[in-house]
Chain A
Amino acid sequence: MLLKILYDALLAAIAAIGFSAISRPPRRAYLYCAIIAAVGHSVRYMLMNMPEPVTIIPATLIASFLIGTLAVFLSPRAHMPAETCLFPALLPMIPGIYAYKAFGGLALCLLSESEAAFARAQYLFSYNALTCLCILVCMVVGATLPIFIFKKISFQATR
């Protein structure tokens, strides 16, 4: 289990560095993004793989809150806004697969020729769209809450 958690953390760190590069952060941000993403994603992995597993939506909320808290407290040290480490660190948890499966379900609804096929496609669309939306909301609420709570620290990080 420990090895699996470390593997998950390593992959999340690589994903965070690569995806953050697209949004052009300052160079010093890469290390912070990698550490925060690794901690956050591995916590979500642990929660979802416990003997009594937590489902993806609450697990994402908890992991995002942890990511947000780490970003708020590390951003003054890195001398950059909390969002600079926060958003790239959240990217490995973006529910991209759910988003395009929802679109696929919508496309299948239009292409379906029978009631049963339509119902299946509609289920695919509704399930994936709802899950995607809930994960996104939990991610942002969880990650933004620490910025809200520790306003003074987060908005003075670049001072």
Chain B
Amino acid sequence: MFKKFTKEDVHSRSNIKSSAQRGLKTKFVDQFEDLEPVIDNIIPKKSQAILIKCEDKIQLYSVENEVVLFQHFDDLIPTLKIVHKYPQCFPRVQVDRGAIKFVLSGANIMCPGLTSAGAKLPEENLEVDTIVTIYAEGKENALAVGKLVMSTDEIKSKNKGIGIELLHYLGDGLWTLSE
């Protein structure tokens, strides 16, 4: 999504109303329940969030000069900077080492990369369309954020085709976008 993303894709930026900001926070917490204790650190109560509208109906929300999350249709997706800060708050999957190279060039994640020896899927089932953070074998930080196109149970049983649609990864246009 952000493979080719530059300043030119930004259409407008505007401050959002505080009520909209509150709504945004509740929505974000609804989506990731574990966020509740830290949401006020991510988006402080008194802060002014900025809405940055971009190409392809992407909306970025920035707080204190740092993009904290973005919205694509109804999904709220945290940026990797936030994922790195609060890794425990998001569902996580792990890919094997062979896949890192491809993930870092923006490829969608194929099922075998999620089921092989070096990879890890959570025990409990994650539903389709869940936003997951993607880790890699032997690394402690997340390297990408994606959206499940199959439930994890299905990934395990089918083991073929695209399992996660990649949304945001290290080194993409959003990562390098300086505010």
Decide whether A and B assemble into one complex. no
Instruction: State the B residues within 8 Å of A (CB).
Output: none
Instruction: State the A residues within 8 Å of B (CB).
Output: none
